[in-house]
Amino acid sequence: MSLANRLVGNRPDGTCIEVTYGPFAAVFERNASIAITGAVAPVSVNGSLRRFHTTLPINAGDVVEIGRPSAGLRFYVAVAGEFRAEEFLGSTSTYMPAKLGGLSGRALQKGDVLEVKIDVPAPPIFETPTNLILTLGNSYALRSTEGPDYSEDLNSLWTTQYTVTRRASRIGIELDGYFPKPDTQENLPSAAIFPGALQLPPKGRGFLLLPDCQTTGGYPHVLQVNKSDRHLLGQVRPDDSIIFLRRSAEQARADLAQKNALLKDWVGEVNW
């Protein structure tokens, strides 16, 4: 999302459209500049193929279409001046379980009309630097640290490959594979939980939390995907594979500092 905003001159956390799997189509009623980043999918303007990761000038009446991605799951559409959206607690993100933010707290529907928040001059044509474009596939290695309920009898978590099931949403994704039973009781007192947490419910499959997850939980929190790799979770789709790479807390801080340094010159400060 930050990369799409950079291409149209917005702040890194400017309001964008997030599209899960697609397809997506929109008719523009006014001239605009847009950018599309994220999952790899075909994009066209009036039937002519265009590219991701570049500024796209759009004329009034143009039709933008994006197909289903061949790799990754979500792509992001930014417009110069940002999309207008409802704000809740300082954010315009849509949280559908509580019907908050975005457009009436729901997913976009055919016929919805979105407005540009601020009239701005057309930005220059930019392209995302090659070293910042993710190479997406069907397997992910996620740098992670031990969670508060981790114990040494869970060491196989670092050597096992897991497969994402069909149970997947912005709340979290279920993982299939061998999960040893943790050396803790199944239901613990509720404690704070974060996106990127791997919990082990009693059914035997792991559940990896995403941005719309709850704020507290009572299942064992055995691993935590580090901030440096947490953005990858939004691109994981059913049947993809995941392995966890063990990192210490010090290594995790260093990884995040390196990621911030990589992005800073192009995007600026990113709020993870």
Among 104, 132, 160, the domain-final residue is: 132
pLDDT of res. 181: 81
> Are residues 96 and 159 both part of a single domain?
no
pTM of the model: 0.92
Q: Residue 203 — very low, low, confident or very high, per pLDDT cuts 50/70/90?
A: confident
**Quick check: is 223 in a domain?**
yes
Tokens of residue 143, six digits = 């740098």
> Are residues 153 and 115 both part of a single domain?
no
pLDDT of res. 187: 66
> Are residues 148 and 229 both part of a single domain?
yes
How do residues 101-152 score in pLDDT, each as one tens digit?
999 999 999 999 999 999 999 999 999 999 999 989 999 999 999 999 999 8
Nearest 5°: CA angle at 209, between 205 and 212? 140
Half-sphere CA count of 16, side-chain side, radius 13 A:
28
Task: State the Cα–Cα distance between residues 120 and 11, nearest whole angstrom.
Answer: 13
Among 101, 132, 163, the domain-final residue is: 132
Q: How many domains does the chain have?
A: 2
Q: Residue 204 — very low, low, confident or very high, per pLDDT cuts 50/70/90?
A: confident
Under 8 Å between Cβ of 94 and 101: yes
Q: Alpha-carbon Rg of the chain, whole angstroms?
A: 20
> Are residues 112 and 175 both part of a single domain?
no
Domain holding 39, by residue range, is: 2-132
How do residues 73-96 score in pLDDT, each as one tens digit?
999 999 999 999 999 999 999 999
pLDDT of res. 198: 97
Under 8 Å between Cβ of 95 and 103: no
**In this structure, what CATH number is given to the domain that contains residue 30?**
2.60.120
Which DSSP symbol is given to 182? P
> Are residues 143 and 260 both part of a single domain?
yes
* Structural element, H or E, at residue 76: strand 71-79
pLDDT of res. 120: 95
Task: Please name which of 48, 42, 79 lies closest in space to residue 63, comparing C-alpha atoms.
Answer: 48
